[in-house]
Structure formats: C-alpha cells, structure tokens
Amino acid sequence: MPSFLNARFAKNKLIYTFGTMILFFMLFDGIMSYLLPLVISEHGFSKTIVGIILATSAIAGAFFDFAIYKIFKKVFYRRLFTIMFLVSFTYIFTIWSANAIVLYLAAMAMWGFYYDLKNFGTLDFMSRHSPKRELSSNFGILQVFQSIGYLLAPLIAGFVITDIVRWQPFVLATVFLSVSLFFFIILLIEARRKKQNTFKEHSGKKFSEEFALWEKVGKAILPVLFLAIIATMFDSFFFTIGPLLAETLPIEPFDGIFMFAYFLPPLIMGGLVGKITKKIGEKKTALTGLLVGAGILSTMMLFKNAFVLVLVVFFASCFTCLMMPVIQSIYAKCIRETPKHKKEVQELGDFFGNIGYIIGPLAAGVLADKLGNTAAFSALGIIGIGFAVILFVVMPKKVRVSTK
C-alpha cells in the first residue's frame, strides 16, 4: 500500500473500523428492506397499504426521538449500538414469522427503533472521534461504507429471491448482522486507546423547558431540518416501491440492479463531498444536488426501456446523494460548537428525518396506485424541484445555534 494511503488509514483507523461495522449492518438492513415490501405484497396488500405499514416504522422512530433521553440517562454510542443489535436480531425473526398485519406493525416499530439507535449512535460516535474540520470528510467516508452495503444488498437479494420470498435472504441477513456485531466489538476495543471529545450529560428538565429549547434550536436549524425531510423522503420512496418496480422489469435475475443504481452514486460521490463543500459551500452542495437530481428523476415517466430507467435513477442519485453528508455535517458542527445543545440537535434532526420516512412511504404507495410506479418517481422529482427552489431562498449559508 502506498505510504500516503498508509498514513491516511492510520489516522482514520477508528473511522474505517466503524465504517466496516456499518457496511455489514447495511447489508443486513438492505436485504431486509428489499424483501419487506415483497413479503407484504405476497399477502395480498395493495401498494398503499404497503406504504402505510412501512410508514409506521418512522412513526415509532419519531416517538423514540423524544423519549431517548428519558429512557437513557447517558446517551453513549456503546450502549445505543448494543441495544441496536439486540433489537435487530429480534426484527429478523419477527418478519420471518409474520402472518398477520399486527406482527408487521410490531416489526416496523422495531425497525424504527433500531434505525434511530443507529442514527443517534453514529452522530455521538462521530462527534466524539472526529476533528471539527474533518467532519464532512469523515461523514463522506462513512457514507461510502454505508453505500457499499446498500449497493450489494439488492443484488444479493435479487439473486436469491425467485418467484416468492423463501428462507435464504433471512439467513443471509442474519449472517451479515453477526459480522457487523463482530466489528462492533473490535471498535470498542480500539476506541479505548483513543482520545475522544467529551460532552456534558443531559440533566432532566421539565417538558416546558425542553420544548423551549427545541423551539430555540429548531428555529436556528429549521431549513436544514426541512432538507432532512426531503432527503429521507427520497430515500424511503425508493425503499417502498423501488423493489416492486424492479421485480416487474424484464431483467431477471438482475432485478436488484434498479436499486443498485440508486445506491451506487453515494459510493462514488461520498469521498468527494468534503472537497465539493470546501469549494462551493455546504448550502450550494446540498441544494444544487437536490435541484439537479430531482430534475433528472422527473423525466422518468418519459421512458419505458428498463436499462434507460436504471440510468435515470443512477444519474439522479449522483446528485441527490450529496444532501445527507452535508446535513449530518451541519448537525455535528452544531454539537461541537454548542455541546450543551447536543440533545436538542440529535432529537430534532432525527425527528424531522422520521417525518420524511413517514411521508415517503405514504406518498409512494398512493402515487404508485394512482399513477403507476414509474410516474410516481417523476412526481417525486417534481416535488423535489419545488423544495430546492424554496430552500435556495430561505436557507442561510451557515447555520449556527446561539450559545446564549
């Protein structure tokens, strides 16, 4: 390995270990996410009902956003990730054995719970172990690992799923989750030898006091919170009807290539996010990505050829994938600059993200039933263009939370 790569790896070894843990976790989550709408559809439910069921995961997550500091007096990534793994193993078994809508709803609550644990744990880990000036770059690196997992998951799932969903994808998901757990243990061992940033732990407050803080911090980062809604809405939209559209394309056994095209760009662009934001700023990076990506996606209903549709998704995702690293970087900078508001930034960021995960599946299901799968994606692109224009006007170049 060249000396400069050795030096970079040594400097960011902890980040790469964490990234590897996330990679295998995303393989597990990606396979389960791919098969879930297929399994629900096999029970005879419409796309609208599929969207409603999937949206309940975000409703559970939104509730957890404001309960986390009541449940855990000390929010530390070690504890959060430990519980995340326990819930994830239970989630696999629940989906495997589900034969009624009640069990699917219970599984969705677990999904929302463990995904919020991942998000809170990730933000806590990155805030503790990343220098301020390297936050965007490190989040970009993390997105690369996450994207590799989500990139490979639909391809793997597409190969093992034939006419109906059988036991094979469930076994694969369990194996990948176990490997992720193994790297988590390695991470804990390595982290003990590293210096980390410390934060004052949250002390209990009355609801009125907490609401006042949510309002104060929320006003300061409101445009970023709305951008988070759009980013997660795009993501959940693809998760809801992407696999359903993929299974109708005449490209078997490569059905997973449709979702592959959506997840590949973050892998390519993740390492470039830091350089792009340093040159044109975080606001222009995120909003230009949304505007151009949504514009490309809006043309999807004009095409019928399967490979052209895959290319449209790929090029659209090349731009829309720039949003999330910027959003996460802004959150982490707010925490570093005003550590006393760490709790509020985490809660609001994840809560608004969950709003997108509620709206996305609901909109995807309804639009797919009314317009068809392909036209539904075009409608999503048109919506994205509108929000990009609005945010270009109202979003400040830099977001700061007052220390007063």
**pLDDT tens-digit map of 24-41:** 999 999 888 888 888 888
Is the pTM higher than 0.85? no
210 — pLDDT class (breaks 50, 70, 90): low
- Asked if residue 197 is part of any domain, the answer here is no
- Asked if residue 182 is part of any domain, the answer here is yes
Q: List, for residues 81-104, the tens digit of each pLDDT value.
A: 999 999 999 999 998 887 778 888
- Measuring CA to CA, which residue among 389, 387, 277, 294 is closest to residue 329? 277
Structure tokens at 337: 């600059």
Per-residue pLDDT, averaged over 170-198, amounts to 85
Cα distances from 239 to residues 20, 40, 244, in angstroms, run 23, 13, 9
Crossing angle of helices 342-371 and 323-337, rounded to 10°: 160
Among 129-143, 162-176, 312-326, where is mean pLDDT lowest?
Answer: 129-143
Among 37-41, 114-118, 126-130, 352-356, where is mean pLDDT lowest?
Answer: 126-130
Higher-confidence residue of 173 and 139: namely 173
Instruction: Report the CATH number at residue 132.
Output: 1.20.1250.20
Q: List, for residues 151-181, the tens digit of each pLDDT value.
A: 888 888 877 766 666 778 888 899 999 999 9
**What total of structural domains would you count in the chain?**
1
Tell me what percent of the chain is helix, strand and coil, each rounded to the nearest 5: 80, 0, 20
- Asked if residue 198 is part of any domain, the answer here is no
Cα distances from 193 to residues 5, 14, 15, 47, in angstroms, run 22, 10, 14, 50
Residue ranges making up the domain that contains 154: 11-191+204-394
As a whole number of angstroms, the distance between CA 226 and CA 218 comes to 10
Element at 88 (helix H, strand E)? helix 77-97
Write down the pLDDT at residue 2: 46
Write down the pLDDT at residue 166: 73
- Asked if residue 2 is part of any domain, the answer here is no
209 — pLDDT class (breaks 50, 70, 90): low
Instruction: Tell me phi and psi for residue 2, to 5 degrees.
Output: -55, 150
- Asked if residue 214 is part of any domain, the answer here is yes
Q: List, for residues 223-257, the tens digit of each pLDDT value.
A: 888 889 999 999 889 888 888 888 788 777 677 78
Mean pLDDT in the chain?
Answer: 81
- Asked if residue 400 is part of any domain, the answer here is no
Per-residue pLDDT, averaged over 257-282, amounts to 81
Write down the pLDDT at residue 274: 75
- Asked if residue 404 is part of any domain, the answer here is no
Q: List, for residues 353-393, the tens digit of each pLDDT value.
A: 888 988 998 999 899 989 998 999 999 999 999 999 998 88
Radius of gyration of the CA atoms of the chain, in A: 20
As a whole number of angstroms, the distance between CA 118 and CA 125 comes to 10
- Asked if residue 109 is part of any domain, the answer here is yes
